Amino acid sequence: MTVVDRFLQYVKFDTQSDELTNLTPSTPGQMEFARHLESELRSMGLSDISLDDNGYLFATLKGNVGREVPTVGFIAHLDTSPDMSGRHVSPRIVQNYDGEDILLNAANNIILSPKDFPELLDYKGQDLIVTDGNTLLGADDKAGVAEIITAVAYLQAHPEIKHGDIRIGFNPDEEIGLGAHKFDVGMFGADWAYTMDGGEIGELEYENFNAAVARITFKGRNVHPGYAKHKMLNSLRVATQYAIMLPRWETPEHTEGYEGFYHLVSIKGDVEETVMTYIIRDHDRDRFERRKKELEHLARKINNEFPGCASIEIKDQYFNMREKIEPVMHIVDTAIKAMENVGVTPKVQPIRGGTDGAQLSFKGLPCPNIFAGGLNFHGRFEFVPIRSMEKATEVIVEIARLVAQ
């Protein structure tokens, strides 16, 4: 079975996660998919297969070198984003893409166009897998799942390729930030691992944002607006005053690369009470801490003008895995060498987001992120070039070979 065959099979599973259920996995489709994969891994003859009640599936391909070498892990997540439906995914292969618009859905005139997504032109002449315009595709991260299993099958079929023990892991709920929370690093038992969860071909990431969420509550006082002078305190107005005190250009729409930001993700309220939620992101730990302090400082300024109006709660979400990867940079060097050996140009860049690998790195499992090949994640315009999936599979095989050397 090819990587494409597996991928087209896997996207049929509805595994959209849901942060509101407070369950692990958060949706039943993820466990259904995990059981399917468990059966497939057993049919392949892998060992140490385990699937726990939380939907974490582990397995081992035993080494064949006859000596002790490091155990390397490869990890992908089972869920798809809650941002768009992953139900009844109907993928289509566009062969030998000609560089023109791709009509995804004639009934609704949904078009995947290089005018809107110029990166399409990078894959002119290649075969692409696209959606029918009604759902996301699920390359994030079912492409990664398919690549890992296909690579393991290839190593089984080619015993002349020497490798140590290979651990594979599939986890739920990455898209809602919980993928690593119940991941048993000790049980997984790898010396290091790679998440196959990156984007376009060549991506290799070992830096990500430091992340926190801030919730600011503004208490108001409502009276009849006709008689409100010196009495009313409109929490909505105070909240907007707070918002404009933050730097205008330090927002997602004005930043790139290593630049951090404040991002207002929701505001809900009325005159009596308004709640604003911000996410705070920065690659630099010191700047990250200063950003949190700035939000607290602005809340104090509000309270100086309107005593007792504002209260703030800040919670850290995850940290930049770079500090955990740098002491073992050989694992990044190995991935770079593997890409080069299979004809892929490495694109080492920071993640402007988070990854399971960040949390796993802080739990003791250093875990850079490697491309799975998909683009335009989380929406109807998601697509994945077939060649990119094939090359990701080759990279996994080559990493296993290099580690054994």
Question: Does the structural domain 210-318 have CATH classification 3.30.70.360?
Answer: yes
Cα 57 to Cα 51, 87, 363: the distances in Å are 4, 22, 18
Has 286 been annotated as catalytic?
A: no
pLDDT category of residue 354 using cuts at 50, 70 and 90 = confident
Catalytic residue among 38, 132, 140, 174: 174
What digits encode the pLDDT tens for the residues 19-66? 899 999 999 999 999 999 999 999 999 999 999 999 999 999 999 998
Q: Which fold has domain 3-207+321-404?
A: Aminopeptidase (3.40.630)
pLDDT for the residue numbered 355? 82
Domain boundaries, the chain: 3-207+321-404, 210-318
Cα distance between residue 322 and residue 327, in whole Å: 9
Has 53 been annotated as catalytic?
A: no
Catalytic residue among 38, 79, 175, 207: 79
Question: Which of 359, 353, 324, 344 minimizes the C-alpha distance to 395?
Answer: 344
Cβ contact 38:49 at 8 Å: yes
pLDDT for the residue numbered 210? 95
pTM (2 decimals)? 0.89
Cα distance between residue 149 and residue 165, in whole Å: 14
Cβ contact 373:389 at 8 Å: yes
Residue type, 82: P
What digits encode the pLDDT tens for the residues 289-336? 999 999 999 999 999 999 999 999 999 988 999 999 999 999 999 999
